[in-house]
Amino acid sequence: MMGLALDGGLLVPQSIPDVSNQLSNWRGLDYQDLAFAIMRLYMNDIADDVLKSLINKSYATFDDPLVTPVNPVGDIHVLELFHGPTLAFKDVALQFLGNLFEVILEDEDSHLNILGATSGDTGSAAIAGVRGKDRIKIFILYPEGKTSPLQERQMTTVLDDNIHNIALQGSFDDCQTLMKSIFSDLEFKRKNRLGAVNSVNWARVLAQIVYYFHAWYQLGCPEKFNVSVPTGNFGNIFSGFVAKRMGLPIHRLILATNSNDILARFFNSGRYRPGDVQFSESPAMDIQVASNFERYLFYKLGQSGSRVTEFMDDFVRKRSVKINYNTRKPDADFISASATDEETIKTIKKYHEQYDYLVDPHTAVGIHVGTALHTDNIPLLCLSTAYPAKFEKAMNRALPGVEVTHPALAGLLDLPERKEIMPVDETAVRQYLVEHT
C-alpha cells in the first residue's frame, strides 16, 4: 500500500516463482481461479477465502464471462482487456486494487488517501475502483485539456464525496513529477496518509500477470507465442516480463510505442535518453520517463539495488545513460519499434475495412508494430488496451462517418462534473491535499 519504497525506489517481490511445472495443472481454470492461483504465490497475509471473494468481486464488474477474451482477427489474436467499467485495461488491476485496499484498511481499522497522476485511463479506472469506499479518498492529478473529453468526463462526473479531480495546467510528465516529489517527502506522506495506485504499485503489476497466462490457455497452450504490448509507463509489458520469468512460454515481448519512443530507442541501442513529450493520437502513451522501467532494470542489472540506484542517479544527472552491454541490443526478450500517428490511423482503417473490427489508437500502435516485427511462425497476441469509443478524435479521423459508441459512455458529456483546475505548483497542490485529506 505504500507505493514507492521508503528510499524512493520501487518495490519488487522477494523472488519470482517458477511455475513451469504447474502450467498443465492450471489448464481449464476460469479467470478468477487462475488469478487466485497466481496471486496466492505472491501473498501470504490474506486468507484464501478473503482473496477468493476479493477476486470474484473485482471481476464481476466485467461484461465478458472470460473477463479478458482472446479474439482471432485475421492473422493475429487480440487480447481484449477493455471489458471493465471504464473500458480500459487498467480496470483489470484497479478493480482488484480498490477491493484489496478496502479489505486491508478494514482489517487495520485505518484510512488511506490515494494520490495518483494520470494521462487519462488510470484516473478513471482508479476512481471506478474506489468510488464510494468509506476508508479511501482519492486525488487524481491529470493534465488539463490533454486527455480526451470522454476520458475526462469519466473522472469528473463521478461525484462521490471521496473523489477529488485536480486538472493541472501542464503535461502528464509534470503531473507525475509533482506526484513523485510529494511522495518523496516522507513526513508529508505519513502525516497525510498518502498512498499510490499508479502503475508503480506492485499489486497492479501482479493483477496484470494473470491475463498473460489466461490468454495463453485461450490460444490452446502453444509451445511459444509473441506478445505485442502498446506501452507507455511500462506497467503492462512489465507484467508480461514477469509472466515470462515465471515460465510462461512467451518468445518475444514486442514493445510498441507511439512517437514518444524512448523505450523503443533503448531496446534498439541500449541508450536511455528522454526526448520532449509529443502529443499523439494515443495519449495514454504520451510518456517519456516510464516509472516501471526501474523495476525492469533491477532484473537486468543482476538484481542489484545499488546498481539500479547508480543507473538512476546517473540518469537524473546526465539525462542519458547507456546500459553496459556488449551488444547493441540490450535484451533478446524484447523487440521494439514505434508507430507514427499516420501508421496508427492507417491500422485502424485497415482492421475496420478488412476484418470489420474496431481497434482504438493505442491498440493500433501495438498491432502496427507487432505485425511489422513479428517474423516467427508462432501465434502473435496483440493486447487491446481500450475500447475505441473512448478516443473519438482518432476514430473520427480514421473512420469518418462510422459511429463508434458504447452504452457506458452514452450521455457522459451531459452529466454534471466537478474538478479543481490548478497551475503546476507543488505548494498549491500540497495545500489542497492538507485541506481535503
Ligand X SMILES: *Cc1c(COP(=O)(O)O)cnc(C)c1O
Name the site residues for ligand X (rule: CB under 6 A): 88, 90, 121, 199, 230-236, 284-285, 362, 385-386
Cα 70 to Cα 319: distance, rounded to the nearest angstrom: 40
- 90 in active site: yes
Residue with Cβ nearer ligand X (100 or 386): 386
Rounded-to-integer distance, Cα 264 and Cα 294, Å: 15
Backbone angles phi, psi at 134, to 5 degrees: -60, -40
CB-nearer residue toward ligand X: 113 or 199: 199
**How near is the Cβ of 366 to ligand X at its closest, in Å?**
8
Handedness of CA 176, 178, 182, 185 (dihedral sign): positive
Compute the least distance from the CB of residue 295 to ligand X, in Å.
12
As measured in angstroms, the least distance from the Cβ of 222 to ligand X is 24
Judged by beta carbon, residue 137 or residue 362, the one nearer ligand X is 362
Whole-angstrom distance, CA of residue 184 vs CA of residue 146: 26
User: In the complex, what is the shortest distance from the CB of residue 324 to ligand X, in angstroms, rounded to a whole number?
Assistant: 25
Nearer to ligand X, 234 or 315 (CB): 234
Residue 386: closest CA among 269, 263, 232, 242: 232
CB of 284 to ligand X, least distance (A): 3
Residue tagged active-site, from 57, 90, 191, 329: 90
Judged by beta carbon, residue 90 or residue 252, the one nearer ligand X is 90
Q: How far is the CB of 23 from ligand X (least distance, A)?
A: 25
Residue (192 or 236) nearer to ligand X, CB: 236
Query: In the complex with ligand X, which residue's Cβ is closer, 98 or 433?
Result: 98
Cell of 405: 459508441
* Per-residue 3-state assignment (H helix, E strand, C coil) for the chain: CCCCCCCCCCCCCCCCCCCHHHCCCCCCCCHHHHHHHHHHCCCCCCCHHHHHHHHHHHHCCCCCCCCCCEEEECCEEEEECCCCCCCECHHHHHHHHHHHHHHHHHHHCCCEEEEEECCCHHHHHHHHHHCCCCCEEEEEEEECCCCCHHHHHHHHCCCCCCEEEEEECCCHHHHHHHHHHHHHCHHHHHHCCEECCCCCCHHHHHHHHHHHHHHHHHCCCCCCEEEEEECCCCHHHHHHHHHHHHCCCEEEEEEEECCCCHHHHHHHHCEECCCCCCCCCCHHHCCCCCCCHHHHHHHHCCCCHHHHHHHHHHHHHHCCEECCCCCCCCCCCEEEEECCHHHHHHHHHHHHHHHCCCCCHHHHHHHHHHHHHCCCCCCEEEEECECHHHCHHHHHHHCCCCCCCCCCCCCHHHCCCCCEEECCCHHHHHHHHHHHC
Complex with ligand X: residue 143 or 230, whichever CB lies closer: 230
Question: Residue 23 is which amino acid?
Answer: L
Nearest approach, Cβ of residue 164 and ligand X (Å): 21
Q: How far is the CB of 125 from ligand X (least distance, A)?
A: 8
Q: Which residues are catalytic?
A: 90
